[in-house]
C-alpha cells in the first residue's frame, strides 16, 4: 500500500506528521513524501523542514494521497502543476484525504465538487467556492474523499482510515502504541468555546496588543 504525502513550503508539519505516525504503522504501508521538486520543504517561518524524497513527476499512482494544510496551502491552490497532479492522481487513488486547509488544494484540483467536506475554521467559507458543501465536523467522509478540520484532527482522521484499511483492532492497537489519549488542559479548541480575546489571537496572531 503506497501512501504519498504532499509537502510544500509553508505547510503545517503536524498536518503531515500526525497522520504519518498512524498510517505508517499499518501492515504493508510504504509512505513517501513528494513535492513540486524534491528537497526540504519548510514550515511557515522556515524553522522546520520535511524532506521530500520525490518530485511529483516521480510519483505515478499512490493508493492514498494525503494533502496537509498550512499558510502555504493558499498559494498552492494557484500552482497548476500541483493541482493538475493532484486531480490526475485522485482519479485512481483508493483514498484521497486532506488535513486542515489542505482541503483548499483538493478543491482547486476539482476533487471536492459536490462533496460534503470540512477544513480549518478559517477556510470554511472559502471551501464553498470550489463547489463543496462545508460541514462543521471534525472528520467528514464522502465517497473516497476524507477531509478533516484543523491540525490535530489529522490523527483522528488517520485512525478512522486505519480502521477502514486494516480493521478496528489494528487501529485501536496503533492508537495505544502512540498513546493517543488526549486530555487538553483547556476547552478552547473550537470557536464556539473560545472567548472573544482568544478568537482574536487565533485569527490575527499572538502578538496582538
pLDDT, tens only, 190-203? 888 999 999 999 88
Q: Which three cell numbers stand for residue 34?
A: 513528494
**CATH (residue range 2-183):** 3.40.50.880
Positions marked catalytic: 100
For residue 204, what pLDDT is reported?
86
Residue extents of the structural domains in the chain:
2-183
Distance CA 115, CA 110 (A): 11
Q: Which helix (H) or strand (E) holds 13?
A: helix 13-23
Q: What percent of the chain is modeled with pLDDT above 70? A: 99
Amino acid at each position: 500500500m503506497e501512501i504519498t504525502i504532499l509537502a510544500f513550503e509553508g505547510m503545517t508539519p503536524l498536518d503531515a506528521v500526525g497522520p504519518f505516525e498512524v498510517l505508517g504503522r499499518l501492515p504493508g504501508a510504504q509512505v513517501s513524501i513528494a513535492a513540486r521538486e524534491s528537497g526540504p520543504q519548510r514550515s511557515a517561518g522556515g524553522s522546520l523542514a520535511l524532506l521530500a524524497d520525490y518530485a511529483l513527476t516521480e510519483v505515478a499512482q499512490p493508493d492514498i494521497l494525503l494533502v496537509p494544510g498550512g499558510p502555504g496551502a493558499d498559494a498552492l491552490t494557484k500552482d497548476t502543476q500541483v493541482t493538475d497532479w493532484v486531480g490526475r492522481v485522485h482519479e485512481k487513488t483508493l483514498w484521497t484525504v486532506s488535513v486542515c486547509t489542505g482541503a483548499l488544494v483538493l478543491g482547486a484540483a476539482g476533487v471536492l465538487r459536490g462533496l460534503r467536506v470540512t477544513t480549518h475554521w478559517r477556510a470554511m467559507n472559502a471551501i464553498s467556492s470550489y463547489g463543496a458543501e462545508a460541514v462543521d465536523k471534525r472528520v467528514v467522509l464522502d465517497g473516497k474523499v476524507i477531509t478533516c478540520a484543523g491540525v490535530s484532527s489529522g490523527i483522528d482522521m488517520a485512525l478512522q482510515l486505519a480502521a477502514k484499511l486494516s480493521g478496528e483492532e489494528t487501529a485501536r492497537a496503533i492508537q495505544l502504541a502512540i498513546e493517543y489519549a488526549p486530555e487538553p488542559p483547556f476547552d478552547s479548541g473550537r470557536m464556539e468555546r473560545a472567548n472573544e480575546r482568544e478568537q482574536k489571537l487565533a485569527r490575527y496572531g499572538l502578538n496582538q496588543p
